[in-house]
Chains A and B, each alone.
Chain A
Amino acid sequence: MEAIQQLFEQLFGTEWGIMLFTFAKNLTLILAIIVPLLLGVAYLTFAERKIIAYMQIRVGPNRVTFFGIPWLRGWGQPIADAVKALMKEIVVPTGANKYLFILAPILTIMPALAAWAVVPFSPELVLADINAGLLYILAMTSMGIYGVIIAGWASNSKYAFLGAMRSAAQVVSYELAMGFALVCVLMMSQSLNLGDIVTGQQGGSMLNWYLIPLFPMFLVYFISGVAETNRAPFDVAEGESEIVAGFHVDYSGMAFTVFFLAEYANMILVATLTALMFLGGWLPPVDITPFNMIPGFLWLLIKIAFLLFFFLWFRATFPRYRYDQIMRLGWKVFIPITLIWIVVLGLIMQLPESVRNDFPFNLWF
């Protein structure tokens, strides 16, 4: 690393050399996050099709293989899908607003990828270790809605527009509950830095994870996360039985695939954040020998995979919510629960030390 920096300094002068070196280093690190993420997205689609297939007593994709190896049947499916999408024509409808039509998928995927900048994968492994990490994540995820709205409007189609309207109202309402659930997390950890939030859950076993004192918040956050990503049972924005495919009904080829990628990237992001904030991130469930030998990064991956399985499980199990029920759940159930929990948490934090130690909550404070 030092040698490369010196090379840059010799080539471009001291000041510019350091600038360009930082730029090149960050670009490499960004690629090191994005490329595995996109691979994960590709194989998440495969996992979804396989898992739902088995839940419905089918086999799922089992044709495409790598180099004809029989036990890898189906594993080439994501690659084949990607190639197919790349080859397809991107049809822009006649009445559509051309620029915004192309801009919409870009605006959807951009925040889904940008939010990964502050996600810590292990104590040292983080691209940008900023103090306001949690806020940054909230800001980035709240921007994802623009792609959906613009896609709906630019398509110049009633179905797409209805889907966009539904999605906008839904995402804005669930963002509130999500934000309040995160306020509870940061009250517990006293920090907005995601790394500090995970280290705050350290202490020997999974009893120290925020999952236990904040269990209602965990449920609220995870369910809001499902709603935010427009996944079943909250996928009224797509609603193929009423409005065909919602906001992306007019998209084809790679433009459609980018929407798809963004949805799955957002799923992985929500699962990762839930794992970091409630399930102790890279910490092992019990801090004894066989468990703490496994590197933290792997623990995080296991937790993410576990939570992602829930996303797929939900989709295979639950029927779609009716629109007014979605709104009721967001505004009349989740927001009151989170508000009450914030007050309860604040009161417990204000208790004097001696009382707090006799309290069952002394485990966590």
Chain B
Amino acid sequence: MNFQDIIFYVFSAILIVSALGVVTSRNPVYSALLLVLSFITCAGLWLLLEAEFLAITLVLVYVGAVMVLFLFVVMMLDINLARLREGFWRWFPVGGIIALVIVAEIALIMTGSYFSLEEMPVPEPKGADYSNTKELGRLLYTEYVYAFELAAVLLLVAMVAAIALTLRHRDDKKSLDIAKQVSVKKDERLRIVSMPAEKKD
């Protein structure tokens, strides 16, 4: 066992424990934080595979942006734990079936002929000047450009839809016009009055 193997096993252990913690923790804030931990350890595992761009993007996008908003929401919600656990056994069969389907899918992929360990060996280590980022960029913008653009449009549509769904027009809404505020002249606001000094009688 060399140094890389030790790192792999340590990271995997942390990943599994924290992922278990996400679903078993009673406090939703703990769950979200453990999810952050599992993202970071996962990024560490990807670094071992020399996928540095994906690893850093995982941290940047999921840890740096998505989970921050997640935590934001979870912390603001007033979650009643007793109410949350009420229907556990009622919904257990549904959840169980979904879990079974996921396990079956993973098993299919792991044991299938396309993705088995023999078919997908550890990639050959690349030289120091090999840039994962450059290669990914080249592929994304040449061979997979249509898929990439489609995904971008899809995200844009989702974004516009989310804003359109939550945007409500109100008649009594107050808003500022910054341009108007900035272009105000002194004469419009200020009136200088000349008056004689008042004497105290």
Contact = CB atoms under 8 A, between A and B. Distances in A.
Interface in B13-40: 29, 33, 36
Contact of B36 (A15, A19, A146, A324): A146
Given A131-B52, A135-B133, A165-B76, A149 B64 contact: no
B52 A146 contact: no
Interface string B175-198: 010100000000000000000000
B69 interface: yes
Contacts of B75: 149, 153, 161, 164
Contacts of A169: 72
Given A131-B131, A149-B75, A150-B33, A143 B52 contact: no
Contacts of B52: 130-132
Given A132-B53, A132-B133, A192-B133, A149 B68 contact: yes
A160 to B, nearest CB: 11
Interface in B56-107: 56-57, 59-60, 63-65, 68-69, 71-72, 75-76
Contacts of A142: 59-60, 63-65
Most-contacted residue by chain A among B29, B52, B56 (CB, 10 A): B56
Interface in A127-152: 130-132, 135-136, 138-139, 142-143, 145-146, 149-150
Most buried by A among B36, B57, B63, B64: B64
Nearest to B176: A324
A146 B56 contact: no
Interface residues of B, number: 25
Interface in B142-192: 176, 178
B114 interface: no
A328 interface: yes
B133 A145 contact: no
Contacts of A72: none
A269 to B, nearest CB: 15
A171 B59 CA distance: 16
A168 B68 contact: yes
A172 B60 CA distance: 11
A146 B132 contact: no
Interface string A58-87: 000000000000000000000000000000
Q: Which of B68, B71, B178 has the most A CB atoms < 10 Å from its CB? A: B68
Contact of A143 (B2, B59, B131, B176): B59
Contacts of B60: 135, 138-139, 142
B65 A139 contact: no
Chain B binding site: helix, strand, loop or mixed by DSSP?
helix
A143 B64 contact: yes
Contacts of B68: 145-146, 149, 168, 171-172
A182 to B, nearest CB: 11
Interface residues of A, number: 28
A175 interface: yes
B63 to A, nearest CB: 6
Contacts of A161: 75
Contacts of B53: 132, 135
Contact of B132 (A19, A132, A150, A165): A132
A338 B29 CA distance: 35
A169 B68 CA distance: 9
Contacts of A164: 75
Nearest to B4: A19
Given A130-B52, A132-B133, A135-B53, A165 B72 contact: yes
Nearest to A149: B71
Nearest to A16: B3
B71 to A, nearest CB: 6
13 contacts: A132-B52, A135-B133, A139-B56, A142-B60, A143-B63, A150-B33, A153-B29, A153-B75, A165-B76, A168-B71, A172-B68, A175-B65, A192-B131
Given A165-B72, A172-B65, A175-B64, 12 more contacts: A130-B52, A138-B56, A139-B63, A142-B64, A142-B65, A145-B64, A145-B68, A149-B71, A168-B69, A168-B72, A172-B68, A192-B131
9 closest Cβ pairs, A-B complex: A142-B64, A139-B59, A139-B60, A135-B56, A131-B131, A153-B75, A139-B56, A19-B3, A132-B52
